[in-house]
Amino acid sequence: MFKITPSGTLTTLHEFCPTGIGCSDGAGPTGLLQATDGNFYGTTSDGGKACLPLKINHCGVVFKITPTGTYSVLYTFCQARPLQCLDGGEPFAGLSQSTDGYLYGTTTVGGLGSGGTVFSLSQNGTLAVLHSFALEEGYFPEGILVQGTDGGFYGTTRFGGSSSAGSVFSITTQGVFESSSFDVTNGVDAFAGLIQATDGNFYGTTSLGGDGIKCGNSEGCGTIFRFTPPDQITTIYSFCLRANCPDGRSPNSALVQGTDGNLYGTTSEGGSNNLGTAFVLKLDLPPFVKTLPSGGSVGTLVRILGTNLTEADSVTFNGTPASFTVISHSEITTSVPTGATTGRVQVTTPSGTLLSNLPFVVK
């Protein structure tokens, strides 16, 4: 694990598995999340001391590391009935932090149905299994969970479901679970996770499935899909225009929504060199602004990112005015004003009013 300055100075903060074959600190890190306490949290898909007595390799851990490099293991998987790993194992996705302060994530194996779990974890290491996947619900969740504006979490599974093509699922912080299966025509193997766009719908990619005729492959070449809760999966785009797939094929990464409202992504294959493509999908979604960080106390310095911000004339935090400085056409700096409450940040410009894509959480 490392940090690097914008000028290129790299510092190694932690080397995994320094204890040798046992890898009690974990092995195979799968992503980092900076939580509201300023520390970084993540998962490893392998290692962990609970595996050592049984010589099981694929348990995994949840870890914490401070910005200065102090590392600690918060939880090691496969502790609940180790031969079955009822608490889960092999977390291939990173973590998400809820507005309730807890960390949420998934494991790809283990649980009552052996298809993985959804879990919550306090920042002191107390884990609760919220759901164990069953075959008919989909299994092997691999993408990072995203918390929707309704407070629930949304994700995808790679396999299982009614067509064995995977599923989209939702789960509340109390564990109320629902799933909707892909039917092959709208996608197969969704392992990149979801985003919630400014229209309230969720968007994602699948590496297979879609229009097989357009693709020239019965398995399909992948899709971009829209999920409208509670259960509607709609194909937005099927990849591969035949003849070397100039638009790309097999999108394996999550989409991002630019502050211009458009969706951006990549494919792993196709294009003029058959090495993949970068694409933009325009759906006439409204532009927005994004805050960095997404929460803080009064006085916290906040960067607001967007487009066409040069002539901004007001910034408010859930209706409370804040002083600000325009840095460029795409950046404003401000501070959380006294009296601010949790809610959307609003930037007023001559061309219209821009809302933050997520509520800003005032501590």
pLDDT in tens, 5-15: 999 999 999 99
> Dihedral of CA 194/195/199/200: which sign?
positive
What was the pLDDT predicted at 55? 52
In the chain, the N- to C-terminal Cα span, in Å, equals 29
Cis bond upstream, residue 229 (ω within 30): no
Percent of the chain scoring above 90 in pLDDT: 79
Out of 172-181, 211-220, 295-304, 347-356, pick the least confident. Answer: 211-220
- What's the whole-number mean pLDDT along residues 52-76? 83
Best CA proximity match to 303, nearest among 289, 313, 319: 289
Run of H or E residues at 212: helix 212-215
* Rounded Cα distance, 229 and 302, in Å: 32
* Rounded Cα distance, 281 and 300, in Å: 35
Query: Residue 18 pLDDT > 70, yes or no?
Result: no
- What's the whole-number mean pLDDT along residues 74-97? 88
Rg (C-alpha) for the chain, rounded Å, is: 21
Best CA proximity match to 294, nearest among 51, 10, 34, 69: 34
User: What class, spelled out in words, does domain 290-362 have in CATH?
Assistant: mainly beta
Run of H or E residues at 40: strand 40-46
Bridge partners (DSSP) listed for residue 167 = 157, 181
Run of H or E residues at 33: strand 27-34
User: What class, spelled out in words, does domain 1-132 have in CATH?
Assistant: mainly beta
In tens, the pLDDT along 34-44 reads 998 889 999 99
For 244-269, give the DSSP string.
Answer: T-TT-B---S--EE-TTS-EEEE-SB
Which amino acid is residue 74, in one-letter code? L
What was the pLDDT predicted at 21? 58
Of the pLDDT bands very low, low, confident and very high (cuts 50, 70, 90), residue 291 is very high
Query: Residue 20 pLDDT > 90, yes or no?
Result: no
Distances (CA, A) of 334 to 79, 205, 299, 337, 360: 46, 35, 9, 9, 13
Percent of the chain scoring above 70 in pLDDT: 96
Fold of 138-286: Neuraminidase (2.120.10)
Which pTM was predicted? 0.90
What was the pLDDT predicted at 133? 97
What was the pLDDT predicted at 84? 78
Is residue 337 within 8 Å of 317, Cβ to Cβ? yes
Run of H or E residues at 213: helix 212-215
Run of H or E residues at 159: strand 153-159
For 280, the token pair is: 């933009």
Q: In sequence order, what are the residues at sequence separation of 6 or more whose Cβ sits closer than 8 angstroms to the Cβ of residue 8?
A: none
- What's the whole-number mean pLDDT along residues 19-35? 82
Is residue 220 within 8 Å of 229, Cβ to Cβ? no
Query: Residue 132 pLDDT > 80, yes or no?
Result: yes
For 310, the token pair is: 């040069």
Out of 2-16, 75-89, 111-125, 255-269, pick the least confident. Answer: 75-89
Of the pLDDT bands very low, low, confident and very high (cuts 50, 70, 90), residue 361 is confident
Three-class SS of residue 137?
helix
Domain 1-132 identical in fold to domain 138-286 = no
* Rounded Cα distance, 109 and 58, in Å: 9
What was the pLDDT predicted at 212? 83
Mean confidence (pLDDT) of the chain = 92
Listed by start position, the domains of the chain span 1-132, 138-286, 290-362
Could you tell me if residue 26 is left (phi over 0), alpha (psi between -120 and 50 degrees) or otherwise beta? left
Query: Residue 272 pLDDT > 60, yes or no?
Result: yes
- What's the whole-number mean pLDDT along residues 233-237? 97
Query: Residue 121 pLDDT > 70, yes or no?
Result: yes
In tens, the pLDDT along 144-167 reads 999 998 999 999 999 999 999 999
Cis bond upstream, residue 293 (ω within 30): yes
Is residue 305 within 8 Å of 316, Cβ to Cβ? no
Is residue 300 within 8 Å of 326, Cβ to Cβ? no
Give Cα 58 distance to the centre of its chain. Answer: 22
What was the pLDDT predicted at 51? 64
Is residue 155 within 8 Å of 196, Cβ to Cβ? no
